[in-house]
Amino acid sequence: MQVKRRLAYNQRPVIFYSNGYETYLWDDLAYPPRPVLGFLRKTELERLIFRRSHRKRLRDTAINEDIVGRPYQKEAIRRITETFEEKCARKSLLVMATGTGKTRTAIALVELLKSANWVNRVLFLADRNALLKQAYRAFQRHLPSVTVLDLTRSKDVTGANVIFSTYQTMLNAIDRMDAEGRIFGVGYFDLVIVDEAHRSIYQKYGEIFDYFDALLVGLTATPRSEIDRDTYRIFQLPQGVPTFAYELNDAVRDGHLVPPKGVTVPFKFLRTGVKYSDLYFRRS
């Protein structure tokens, strides 16, 4: 009986400390102390402790080449996993030109992190329903073993591994309650993916990123030289230095994209002007 009791309780605790105004979580085997907006629920703590003792080394976990096969996509994933595992940082910013497979790279990253027991629940955020539906369908197609849910269509999140939401929908859902308190506790998600990450999103919806104690990955097609300083600050990165970048010139050089071609389109009214009598007014 004494041996069983020792086995049941012989585990390193998760450390919280607070002065009554600020609360910090110290998972001292993985990351430095970090501020959190509250204590984790029992199930969230159990998942954190399980993850701590069962997760595998990311560098030894294979990338699923059925999802991504291009070298730059695999390098992007390795840069992010190095950030999480070796640099003990929890935020990454991925810059990839439109058409180079940001979403597929994100899917392969989720697959790797799940297979290595680093994450179980993922939140995918986008600012428009069209982008959200596109990502939702891509996850269904390339990661059929994972249960996905569109929070803009369904409120029942039971059993969902990857939840898709617009920022406004998630902001409203944070305050939803069940018998134990908030449905979405501070530690509900293990990974948050932000599509088209930039400063204006954080200015409007930064509460979401601050609320969830999760790994954070930002995706953007904006060239790194045009990303504003505040966006780099959000991801705790030096100005102009994302976690990984594969931009338009890189994709054109490697033959994955074609260079843009300008077309001159003459507008008559710019050359000849517009007369009042030429304007058409709809009568009410």
Give the integer Cα–Cα distance in Å for 154 and 125: 15
| All structural domains of the chain with their residue ranges | 37-254
Position 199 scores a pLDDT of 64
Position 9 scores a pLDDT of 64
CATH, range 37-254: 3.40.50.300
Position 28 scores a pLDDT of 75
Position 83 scores a pLDDT of 96
Contacts of residue 118, Cβ cutoff 8 Å, sequence gap at least 6: 51, 55, 58, 84, 190, 215
Tally of CB atoms within 10 A around 219: 23
Nearest by Cα to 219 from 255, 200, 193: 193
Position 283 scores a pLDDT of 59
Position 233 scores a pLDDT of 85
Nearest by Cα to 197 from 95, 105, 83: 95
Position 95 scores a pLDDT of 94
Position 225 scores a pLDDT of 81
Calculate ∠ Cα 117-120-124, nearest 5°. Answer: 130
DSSP 159: T
Written as six digits, the tokens of 56 are 């595998």
Q: Is the dihedral of CA 221, 188, 54, 146 positive or negative?
A: negative
Polymer length in residues for the chain = 284
Tally of CB atoms within 10 A around 168: 13
Give pLDDT tens digits along the chain (284 positions): 444 454 556 677 888 999 989 999 988 777 888 999 989 988 899 898 888 888 999 999 999 999 999 999 999 999 999 999 999 999 999 999 999 999 999 999 999 999 999 999 999 999 889 999 999 999 999 999 999 999 999 888 888 999 999 999 999 999 888 777 788 999 999 999 999 877 677 778 888 988 999 999 999 988 788 877 778 888 888 888 999 999 999 999 999 999 888 888 877 777 777 777 777 666 55
Give the integer Cα–Cα distance in Å for 173 and 187: 15
Position 281 scores a pLDDT of 64
Position 226 scores a pLDDT of 80
Position 142 scores a pLDDT of 96
Position 275 scores a pLDDT of 76
User: Is 168 within 8 Å of 192 (Cβ atoms)?
Assistant: no
The helix/strand/coil state of 217 is strand
Contacts of residue 175, Cβ cutoff 8 Å, sequence gap at least 6: 182
